[in-house]
Structure 1
Amino acid sequence: MTLAEQLNAFLLTLLTGLMSGFVYDLYRVLREMLRLKKAGTFIGDLLFWLFLLVVVFGLLLVGNDGEVRFYVFLGLALGAGIHLIFFSSAARRFIYRSIYLFLRAIQIITAGAVAFFRILTFPFRVIFFLVAWPVAQGGRALRLAGRGIGRAGKGVLAPPVHHFSRGLRARWQRWSNSWRTRR
């Protein structure tokens, strides 16, 4: 490997370290926003490091054919250190604002969709109200009338209905008993 190739590989590992620091800040912001407990933090840390391992390995394969030398570790550590010292607070503010703007955009889009749906369905709701309200009132009136008729007819119709239902019950029991004995 020539010196120029090694310098390019070192710059790639330096940029990979900077990117790793940014991804770490992104993970820290998400962890703070989600308020992960101990188990969630453990799983998040594990997934973060696995993701970072795959990305760094892929970039090393592309940049210097996967050769791991001292300058690779130096570039990764130096890049991550530069990011964490100089750019971390600005990156975290940027990430917070980006997530806030993204969530705010989703709220605005959702509110617009709800408003559009309400405007679109307004004529149907008016028609439904104009039809359903009188029907509901008619049903309420019939229910009240039925209660009144039921109360009034209770004294008149109760003895014959009771006598009739008792006869039906007796016939049913005789029939069901005969059916059980035939089996």
Structure 2
Amino acid sequence: MEGFVANQAQIFFNTFLGGVFIGIIYDIYVTFRHFYKPKKIASCFGDLLFWFFTVIVIGTILFYSNWGEIRGYTLLGFLIGVLFYFKFISKFIRKILMIVGDKVCKFIVRVAYIVCYPFNKIGKILRFIYNPLSSKTNKIYNKIKYLFRLPKVVCSDIRKYYKMIIMKKS
């Protein structure tokens, strides 16, 4: 009998830790949403992804601790674990995740700046070369555009005034 109670206590403790782990996954998801602010569809997809990972955690813990049997004390263990996490640990973990997320975002911005820097310089050089030529090329472009548009205008005018043209010839 003692082994049976000890086994149940071990299962309860495992599910308690599983609840804490689910709370950590939730805080990671909330931190991700804080930094990336997804739209409605992406938010729905993120919610589905969160619940997918939650089901995997619950299933894995239940499978390895008591062969997947769902008992009242296992559900109570998950619930108490999540409540314990949000009551006592979540504030500290969330602060740490916000600091880490902020550092990661700043690092990504710096790397993007370093990667894009040569392209920005090349663009400035090309704009410097193109700007004096653009006024001359724009005049030529507009003339060519007018010449290509001219047959279309003439054809539409002929269609428009077709009856009037035919009446004058008769």
Cα distance between partner residues in 2 of 1:109 and 1:103: 10
- Structure 1 residues 42 and 12: CA distance shift in structure 2, 3 A: same
Partner Cα separation in structure 1 for residue 112 and residue 36 of structure 2: 22
Distance 1:25 1:94 in 2: 10
Which of 16, 27, 30 matches 1:28?
Answer: 30
Report the alpha carbon displacement of residue 36 of structure 1 after superposing the two structures with TM. Answer: 1.6
Question: Which among 61, 67, 90 is matched to residue 88 of structure 1?
Answer: 90
Distance 1:10 1:40, change over 3 A: same
Query: Unaligned regions of 5+ residues in structure 1, if any?
Result: 118-183
Identity across matched positions, percent: 29
TM-score by length of 1: 0.56
Q: Which residue of 2 aligns with 1:42?
A: 44
Q: Distance in 2 between matches of 1:110 and 1:42?
A: 28
**Tell me, what secondary structure is at the counterpart of 2:70?**
coil
CA contact (8 A) 2:15 2:78 kept: yes
Q: State how many pairs are aligned.
A: 121
Rounded to whole Å, the distance in 1 between the matches of 2:70 and 2:28 is 27
Structure 2 residues without counterparts, runs of 5 or longer: 119-170
Give the letter aligned to residue 92 of structure 2. A
Q: Aligned Cα RMSD in Å?
A: 2.8
Which has the greater radius of gyration?
A: 1
Superposition TM-score, scaled by structure 2 size = 0.60
